[in-house]
Amino acid sequence: MEIKALRYFTAVAETLHFGEAAMRLHIAQPVLSQTIARLEKELGTTLLNRTTRKVELTDAGAYLNREARRVLADVDSMFAGVRNIAGGSAGIIRIGFTGTTGFAQLARIKQAVAEALPNITLEVHTDLLTPAQLERIRNGQLDMGILRGHTSDPALETYPLGTEKLVAAMPEGHRLASVEGELALKEFEEEHFIAFGDQRSNVNARAVASCHAAGFTPHIAHTAPGTAGLLALVAAGAGVAFIPESVQALRPQGVVFKSVPETLPTDLALVTRAGTSSPVVKHVIEALVDNDVVSADADNPDRLNNKQVPVTQA
Chain segment 169-182, per-residue pLDDT in tens: 999 999 999 999 89
Region 97-120: mean pLDDT is 81
Reply yes or no on whether the pLDDT at 87 is more than 70: no
pTM of the model: 0.60
- Residue 193 has a pLDDT of 95
pLDDT digits (tens, 9 = 90+) for 32-82: 999 999 999 999 999 999 887 889 999 999 999 999 999 988 887 777 677
In this structure, the number of other CB atoms found within 10 A of the CB of residue 99 comes to: 29
Reply yes or no on whether the pLDDT at 265 is more than 60: yes
Write out the DSSP string of the chain.
--HHHHHHHHHHHHHS-HHHHHHHHTS-HHHHHHHHHHHHHHHTS--EEE-SS-EEE-HHHHHHHHHHHHHHHHHHHHHHHHHHHHHTSEEEEEEEE-TTHHHHHHHHHHHHHHHH-TEEEEEEE-S--HHHHHHHHHTTS-SEEEEEEE---TTEEEEEEEEE-EEEEEETT-TTTT--S---GGGGTT-EEEEESSTTBHHHHHHHHHHHHTT---EEEEEESSHHHHHHHHHTTS-BEEEEGGGGGG--TTEEEEE-TTSPPEEEEEEEETT---HHHHHHHHHHHHTTSS---TT-TTS------EEEB-
Rounded Cα–Cα distance for residues 244 and 69 (Å): 56
Q: What's the mean per-residue pLDDT of the chain? A: 84
